[in-house]
Amino acid sequence: MHPKNLLIAIVLAAALALGVFVALRMQTPAELHSAFVLPTPTPLPEFALVNQQGEDVTSETFQDHWSLVFFGFTHCPDICPTTLQILSAARKTLAENSQQPLPRIVLVSVDPERDTPELMAKYMAYFGDDNLGITGSLDELKKLTTGLGIFFAKQAGDAENYAVDHSAAVLLVNPEAEFHALFSGTHQVETFVNDVPLIMDAYQ
């Protein structure tokens, strides 16, 4: 190749590489504290569960909302109420900061044997209004958790006194009912207050 043509090719290749880099940077919110944004959001799997009012919940329920989704159970002694309190405090702070839209807090029960809609309604009321509690059959629950890579396992115990091991991550689901971002590790109010608006702004 002629030296001049080679130089032009190198310059074009460098420009292309820079363009790809800039495009990727533009798709990733800057200054995130904890959240991992999926390069390609994953549609929620098909499932059929119910909310705390006994109404049907499917993947379509998540459309047109931002949702912070946690998998836990009402008899959980520590991590579940702590995480929900953090999410509730973060949502309150976002509201005070005039954040729009506000994400909805969602608890999906990994203990459907004990977590009836009635119990979920009482439990979710402790963490504010407009929260969504989801329960239902074990088979339908597994469709959702398997599709999202969420772990849970019932531990040995008697019929009414047992624990459930489960993932502690919080998932951010976008208004197209897609798994959009993951919050893992130690959850903090400040993390959600910082990261959620950045992710929403980048999405819009």
Domain assignments of the chain as residue spans, ordered by start: 1-30, 34-203
What CATH number does domain 34-203 carry, 2.40.30.10, 3.40.30.10, 3.50.30.30, 3.10.290.10? 3.40.30.10
Measuring CA to CA, how many Å separate 25 from each of 14, 17, 30, 187?
16, 12, 8, 25
Of 168, 158, 10, 172, the closest CA to residue 76 belongs to 168
> Which segments of the chain have a pLDDT < 70?
1-30
C-beta separation of 67 from 106 below 8 A: yes
The pLDDT value given to residue 158: 84
- pLDDT of the residue at 29: 59
Q: Tens of pLDDT along 11-53?
A: 344 444 444 344 444 445 569 999 999 999 999 999 999 999 9
pTM for this entry: 0.84
> What pLDDT score does 156 carry?
87
- DSSP result, 162-191: --EEE---EEEEETBTEEEEEE-SS--HHH
Write out pLDDT tens, residues 74-90: 999 999 999 999 999 99
